[in-house]
Structure 1
Amino acid sequence: MSRLLVDADAIRALAEILTETGLTEIEIAEKDNRIRVVRAAAGQVHALPAAAPVAVPVAAAPAAPVDPAKHPGAVTSPMVGIAYLTPDPGAPAFVTEGQTVAAGQTLMLIEAMKTFNQIKAPRAGTLKALLVASGDPVEFGEALAIIE
């Protein structure tokens, strides 16, 4: 029975080179030893020393996307409807990103059942992000904007 010796440090170094350079495959050979590292479609790297596969993770999994509705400064939709950022087509927007807003200031309108409902700032602060565009359909509880 033959014993396979794997140089884990060499495999890690090759995996780092793949990550840094964007290459999909790299191989080194020295005497009777050969290490080949190939980036798989799922973001994993497989090392094949002497034709025996060994899986080595390249990096930690990406962080899960943060739900904007859970942000402490999120302004959420109180209803289902269509969001409008201007009072009329061609008119300037109620607010713009980066603008300081006062508590009670109109941020946008939501049309529901042919009625336009004003969405007002619940607190004073800076409008960090508008998360919808004019004409976008919105759902109840959906984050519309972030005020910090």
Structure 2
Amino acid sequence: MELKDIQNLIKFVARSGANEVKLEMEDIKITIKTGEGKTETTILQHAAPLSMATAPIAQAPVEVAAPAAPAAPAPAAADEDSKYLTITSPMIGTFYRKPSPDKPLFVEVGDTVQGDSVVCVIEAMKLFNEIESEVSGKIVKILVEDSTPVEFGQPLFLVDPS
């Protein structure tokens, strides 16, 4: 878990109104306590054996170099998509395009949505949150695959307002 993920989790918990959240994963334990204008975070991370600790450091330059290659076509795609409005994720969680496996999709490319249309569900901490469009128009692109994790502010849909 990266520092950015922990910061987003803290922001999410602070906005949710929860008093305390505990998250335990195989190598990390996080407790976030909120209340009356203060947020307290405790992070306990087990130290990895020395041989495991050096492996990610050796791989770090490879990971940094890999995203740089596809950066060239990105500006052209950004120019095409700039005329569209973006529906973004208001929270961290798992993105679902339908309310349950046996139900139809909320929206598909070409569907028209209104400002209060439910476009997806994001599951966070076993709670399923319906996400509304907040903009009116036609769905032109779905940017996230079903059942994948999303971050706060991550673009989910592109909407043509015309």
Q: Deviations over 1:34-93 (max 9, x none)?
A: xxxxxxxxxxxxxxxxxxxxxxxxxxx94434469x845011111110001001102110
Q: Please, which of 120, 138, 148 is the counterpart of residue 108 of structure 1?
A: 120
1:145 paired with 2:132, answer no
Unaligned runs of 5+ in 2: 1-70
Q: Aligned to 2:99, which of 87, 98, 111?
A: 87
TM-score by length of 2: 0.49
RMSD of aligned alpha carbons? 2.3
2:110 aligns with 98
- List gaps (5 residues or longer) in structure 1: 1-60
Runs of 4+ deviating beyond 6 Å = none
Question: 1:12-45, CA deviations, whole angstroms, 9 ceiling, x for partnerless residues?
Answer: xxxxxxxxxxxxxxxxxxxxxxxxxxxxxxxxxx
1:101-120 deviation digits (Å, cap 9, x = unpaired) = 11110000000011111111
Bigger Rg, structure 1 or 2:
1
**How many Å separate the matches in 1 of 2:133 and 2:91?**
16
Q: Alignment partner of 1:126: what SS?
A: strand
Q: Which residue number corresponds to residue 134 of structure 1?
A: 146
The share of aligned pairs that are identical, in percent, is 39
Q: In the alignment, what sits opposite 1:77?
A: 89
Normalised to the residue count of structure 1, the TM-score between the two structures is 0.53
From the two aligned structures, give the one with the greater helix fraction.
2
Aligned length: 87
Which residue identity lines up with residue 127 of structure 1 in the other structure?
Answer: I
